Chain A
């Protein structure tokens, strides 16, 4: 019997597969389809202090190996999350969940983190400094090592939970930013968020997306993600949550060999809502194929 368990910041995961933030809502839509307790965990839709509608539509564009989204952090705000959504989430998901938090200022990150401090079903904070779809916040914190470290240090002071900084691939050197976050007290690094992308409608000669460009995700970014995880693994000593185009058990194994302790599945959930349980079911067979007895043993095996 192979062992598919892993762990993240001292919290055991039955398996390494998590739904990625922005593709898994607050779990509700998927809980209608299958028992989401089968997952290792999931990172819920990014939350801000105040409710946000997000960007104008169209927000979605297709690409040959993926899609572009420009949702713009639509969410009901942290108060509704705490008062209404988290109590409902406890009924459908009985494991620690990852809270994806966002801010347009250091103070907002701090206040959102503080609001979640007493929530016992939140296992980790995933601090998103890499949303490409909002201005004045989001990615602007994640493209500078100094700003990313400031956010990390500020959230660190507000939270006793493990904090994982979600990094943008749209930077010159992701390892510098990862190192700065580690030095500022991060417990882990999530990578990669989406890559900036654009499609143009040839008939109208205008960008497909109302916000012009958005975040490109899907199988097309998988090799980029593997490369960045590989490099960050060599640069830091804290655990890595890998993501970017994962859509099979082989992809999970590849990303773990690059250095990820666990793996989030994003865009693939949108085209195949049953992809996460399928990957989990496929893992033992894939492990046998590659002579892996214990999945956690292959973390960083490619180095």
Chain B
């Protein structure tokens, strides 16, 4: 983990409530897709943990949804503004487990960290299929970007306004895959757990105090003992999760 100052290069709306922020700064502490950063915001005591969508040598992309006053403040920030970030938090996904034909399942704002993962999986020669779940057509983001990486993309909308009508699990029917990776809301995880075949990894979300393992604010029980979502997670293996 490092603490460093990043500069906003771009901050644009992707939908009514989802924004994409590109930041320039030292990303050397990032080593895996699915890790997160913790952002200091003026007037807020706690930092805001946001998963990294993708990163390069000198920049990273965050895609975040406005869910409260912190992300609301972020949504109106202009290019050029400097932010203090803790970088390289969390364990991230393990791309080595993917096999040849991994399945990536993202629900809503859980989708962004899967993008960096998908990029890495394709770079190492895997052929991922991606299921993106949204409530309705106007909420869709990143569909084209995943396609441009070369992944097979299936979109599901709960109201049927685009793609497969229903939940991500409806789009999972008949698919075969070597491993699965998922990030999204807990009800989606439970539906996936009931339907998925074989091994996989879940990326969890929890309210955090510090984000780096000191405060025990985000603990959960697993089959392998108590874990901290921020430090030992957010990614847990299917085999260890207690539902």
Residues of B within 8 A of A33 (CB): 1
A66 x B45 contact (CB < 8 A): yes
B65 contacts A by Cβ under 8 Å: no
27 contacts across the A-B interface (CB closer than 8 A) = A23-B214, A25-B214, A33-B1, A53-B221, A53-B226, A54-B216, A57-B207, A57-B217, A57-B220, A58-B206, A59-B217, A59-B219, A62-B45, A64-B45, A67-B45, A71-B216, A219-B45, A267-B45, A269-B210, A269-B214, A270-B46, A270-B209, A271-B45, A271-B47, A272-B40, A273-B1, A273-B3
**8 Å CB contact of B231 from A29, A219, A271, A274:** A29
- What's the Cα separation between A265 and B45 when bound, in Å? 15
B212 within 8 A of partner (CB): yes
Q: Does B213 contact A (CB under 8 A)?
A: yes
- Which of B3, B40, B45, B219 counts the most A-chain CB atoms under 10 A from its CB? B45
Pick from B3, B208, B212, B220: contact of A29, CB under 8 Å: B212
**B44 on the A face (CB < 8 A):** yes
> Nearest Cβ distance between residue A30 and chain B, in whole angstroms?
7
Please report the C-alpha to C-alpha distance between residue A54 and residue B220 in the assembled complex, in whole angstroms.
10
Contact yes or no, A60 B212, CB < 8 A: no
Interface residues on A, range: 35 or more
Bound-state CA distance A271–B208 (Å) is 11
Q: Which residues of A contact B215 (CB under 8 A)?
A: 22-23, 25, 60, 69, 71, 270
Interface check A200, CB cutoff 8 A: no
Judging by beta carbons under 8 Å apart, are A67 and B209 in contact? yes
Q: Are A30 and B46 in contact (CB-based, < 8 A)?
A: no
Chain B residues proximal to chain A, CB less than 8 Å: 1, 3, 40, 44-47, 86, 206-210, 212-221, 226, 231
Question: A24 interface residue, CB < 8 Å from B?
Answer: yes
Cβ contact within 8 Å between A58 and B207:
yes
Q: Which residue of A lies closest to B211 (CB)?
A: A270
Which positions 24-38 of chain A face chain B at CB distance < 8 Å? Answer: 24-25, 29-30, 32-33
8 Å CB contact of B219 from A24, A67, A74: A74
Q: What's the dominant secondary structure at chain B's contact region?
A: loop
Tally of A-B residue pairs with Cβ under 8 A?
A: 90
Mask, A6-43, CB within 8 Å of B = 1, is 00000000000000001111000110110000000000
Answer whether residue A65 sits at the interface, using C-beta atoms and an 8 A cutoff: yes
Q: How far is the CA of A38 from the CA of B1 in the complex (A)?
A: 19
- From the candidates A53, A62, A65, A270, name the one contacting B214 in the complex (CB within 8 A): A270
Q: Is the CB of B214 within 8 A of A29?
A: yes
A59 touches B207 (CB 8 A): yes
CB distance from A131 to the nearest CB of B (A): 13
Which 6 residue pairs are nearest across A and B when measured between Cβ atoms?
A270-B210, A60-B217, A58-B207, A74-B216, A29-B213, A60-B209
Choose among B208, B216, B221 the residue that contacts A45 (Cβ–Cβ < 8 A).
B216
- If A24-B214, A69-B215 touch, does A60 touch B45 (CB 8 Å cutoff)? no
A63 at the interface (CB under 8 A from B): yes
Distance, CA A271 to CA B45, complexed state (A) = 7
Q: Which residues of B contact A132 (CB under 8 A)?
A: none
**A218: CB under 8 A from chain B?**
yes
| CA gap between A208 and B46 in the complex, in Å | 15
Complex CA distance for A59 and B209, rounded to whole angstroms: 9
- Residues of A contacting B206 in the complex (Cβ-Cβ under 8 angstroms): 57-58
Alpha-carbon distance A269/B3, docked complex (angstroms) = 13
Judging by beta carbons under 8 Å apart, are B1 and A274 in contact?
Answer: no
Which residues on B sit within 8 Å (CB–CB) of A267? 45
CB of B189 to closest CB in A, whole Å: 15
**Bound-complex Cα distance A126 to B47 (A):** 29
Could you say which residues of chain B place their CB within 8 Å of the CB of A62? 44-46
Q: If the complex has contacts A60-B208, A62-B46, are A25 and B218 also in contact, measured as CB distance less than 8 A?
A: no
Complexed CA–CA distance, A36 and B60 (Å): 30
For the complex, give the distance between the alpha carbons of A270 and B45 in Å: 10
Measured between beta carbons, the chain A residues less than 8 angstroms from B3 are: 272-274
| Given A59-B207, A271-B40: A30 touches B216 (CB 8 Å cut-off) | no
In the complex, which of the residues A62, A66, A219, A272 has the most CB atoms of chain B within 10 Å of its own CB atom?
Answer: A62
